[in-house]
Structure 1
Amino acid sequence: MVHSEGARAPREQRRGPVVRRQSQMQAGTTDQHLLDTRGAADWVHEDPFRVLRIQSEFVEGFGALAELPPAISVFGSARTSPGSPEYEAGEAIGRGLVEAGFAVITGGGPGAMEAANKGAMEAGGVSVGLGIELPFEQGINPYVNLGVDFRYFFVRKTMFVKYASGFVVLPGGLGTLDELFEALTLVQTKKVTRFPIVLFGTAYWQGLVDWLTHTLVAQGKAGLQDLQLFHITDDVEEAIGVVTKEAGA
């Protein structure tokens, strides 16, 4: 289209799939910014660069975990004390899962996570820790023989679900609850199939189960069948049996 001298052609700037007009236009070109070594490095903190970091985390995670044997994710509090009944249960569960032919995946931190990794490693199995960058650094515990650290929670969550055939959930805090309800939602909405979820520790979890039953379900916010999405027990062998049997179904 030809514009006369008096007509003002619309000003437009295209950078790949992005169209910028008027005040949103930027000086220079993408190649110019890439090749120019002068100026501030603020670009490493901008969203387009973050997308590349997120992509790289997915690639690294998929690459590291792609050849895992069948695995179960074990969750629980980082504050669980070594030598406590909960810690010993975590060790026994990690050991039992390996003996049943499964790798063990945890968040890689201390407490209940360390316990499950310890049981798995001492049983000669694959002990995986998926760490996360936090203000209070925890680091990967010494009982992990395959560890990956992540910047982004949602990438880490994908790895927990993609490479595990089920969850065992020991007593834990907000992070544990986050993982538990994400797993329950994925099963409820059929985003994953044959994904057993075991809550270990009746005394700890019963209050939550009662609330789900007498408030959530009673008020119609969830269905009665949703209470069948998880199994609650105090018995290590039962927990291992349920999660491995259903995972292998």
Structure 2
Amino acid sequence: MGAVPDEEAKSPAGSDTEIESLAEFDAAATHATLAGFRVQSVDLTTRTPVLLRTDTAGAVFLGCAMEPDAAAKVRADGALVFPPVPHLPFDPYRGTLYSPAELFEGLAAGYERTPDALSYAWFQRTKADGDIFSSMLRSIHDDAISDALDELLVGARVVGVMGGHAMGRGTAEYEGAAVLGRTLARAGFTVATGGGPGAMEAANLGAYAAPFDDAMLGSALEILAEEPSFRPSVSAWARAAFEVRTKWPRGGTSVGIPTWFYGHEPPNAFAGSIAKYFANATREDGLLARSNAGVVFLPGAAGTVQEIFDNATPNYYESRGGPTPMVLVDRAHWTERLPTWPLLEALAEDRPMAGRIALVDSVSEAPGALARMSR
């Protein structure tokens, strides 16, 4: 069954120098020097004695809480110290991706009280006033998220599943997307989506359901159908998802990559790891670039059309090491309602990408199309 690698996994570039937990800090500090290390968003207020006796010259501390005497000492050593920023609803220096529980903390009091909603509200305020400090914090946050996402996906075979947020729970289309996510996860792929509602949630739900028997998904779909949309109430919509997670804990994992740029779309609670960005362009490119085993495009509107051609461009130019499979689902949708397929086919003519694009009638055909194009 497909699974995201352990969240403590490191990329080769950062494996020897990045410290993102107290356990990693304690292990590194046994060598009596932290020179050259990058300590990222670790609360070090209980490690004052260690910091006072350890060489920290050349170290960088990003958002690490420290007692004043410890902070003064490491600065005197020549370390760079970027202190925590107070009164933010998010941590710009975080070393790991978000979990659903973290973003939806406080949901019982209403979605508007959660870190996810508060971060969107902060974004709305600060992007309007043009404050350079806030802009810098957003950039630091998004870079930290990209770093954590790369570390998480080392060695993973990632299939992206794209589709519209309007796909309602309780529909045949939603069930089909969920079955797709389950099929891909059981085949050993890591499912990655835009992390929002609709088709994205369905695919993440399917991956979550992968370890259970087939009946579990049907039961979960019935629970979710009671709250078919995040409109008018995100709170009720999200609570239904957490009801499923509570009834069937320890489900399969997948990745959601949403954005606060589209803050009216909440993240879904079925992606085990959530890479949420402020900059939508960074999010879009990052999602598609990391889908190294192909992308399935379910019916959608403007956003999904944009993603098709965002992915077609590097495939056309072979700029990511060669074309990766692209599967468009629903012939009528992509040839009549939004005739994207004819243009994609024209672009691919006489190029290697021609063998890496497919149009299928139903979502059940997508895994087979991916497999054929991956040979």
| Cα offset, 1:177, TM superposition | 1.0
With structure 1 as the length reference, what TM-score do the two structures score?
A: 0.70
With structure 2 as the length reference, what TM-score do the two structures score?
A: 0.48
Give the Cα separation in 1 of the matches to 2:262 and 2:200: 19
**Which secondary structure does the structure 2 equivalent of 1:154 belong to?**
helix
49 and 197 in structure 1: CA distance in 2 versus 1, 3 angstrom threshold: same
Amino acid at match of 1:77: G
Residue 350 of structure 2: aligned partner: 225
Q: Please point out which of 158, 164, 176 is paired with 1:89.
A: 176
Q: Please point out which of 43, 46, 60 is paired with 2:148.
A: 60
Q: Is the 8 A contact 1:90 1:119 kept in 2?
A: yes
Give the Cα separation in 2 of the matches to 1:179 and 1:223: 16
Amino acid at match of 1:178: Q
Q: Please point out which of 291, 294, 316 is paired with 1:166.
A: 294
Counterparts of 1:146-165 in structure 2, within 5 Å, are 146-164=273-291, 165=293
Amino acid at match of 1:60: A
Residue 123 of structure 1: aligned partner: 210
Residue 111 of structure 1: aligned partner: 198
Give the Cα separation in 1 of the matches to 2:206 and 2:272: 12
Q: Is the 8 A contact 2:330 2:363 kept in 1?
A: no
Give the Cα separation in 2 of the matches to 1:232 and 1:191: 23
Deviations 1:161-183 (A, max 9, x none): 33322100000111111111011
Task: Please give the root-mean-square deviation of Cα atoms over the aligned residues, in Å.
Answer: 2.7
Q: Please point out which of 163, 181, 185 is paired with 1:98.
A: 185
Give the Cα separation in 2 of the matches to 1:225 and 1:96: 32
- How many residue pairs end up in the alignment? 201
**Which secondary structure does the structure 2 equivalent of 1:67 belong to?**
coil
Q: Going by fraction, where is strand more abundant, 1 or 2? A: 1
Residue 44 of structure 1: aligned partner: 133
Give the Cα separation in 1 of the matches to 2:275 and 2:258: 6
149 and 129 in structure 1: CA distance in 2 versus 1, 3 angstrom threshold: same
Deviations 1:36-95 (A, max 9, x none): xxxxx943145x6665455334323323x3336212000000001112222122011101
Give the Cα separation in 1 of the matches to 2:195 and 2:172: 20
42 and 84 in structure 1: CA distance in 2 versus 1, 3 angstrom threshold: closer
**Which secondary structure does the structure 2 equivalent of 1:142 belong to?**
coil
**Which secondary structure does the structure 2 equivalent of 1:117 belong to?**
helix
68 and 143 in structure 1: CA distance in 2 versus 1, 3 angstrom threshold: farther
Amino acid at match of 1:133: W
Residue 9 of structure 2: aligned partner: none
Give the Cα separation in 2 of the matches to 1:128 and 1:147: 6
**Which secondary structure does the structure 1 equivalent of 2:296 belong to?**
strand
Deviations 1:78-119 (A, max 9, x none): 001112222122011101101211111011111111111111
Q: Is the 8 A contact 1:57 1:155 kept in 2?
A: no
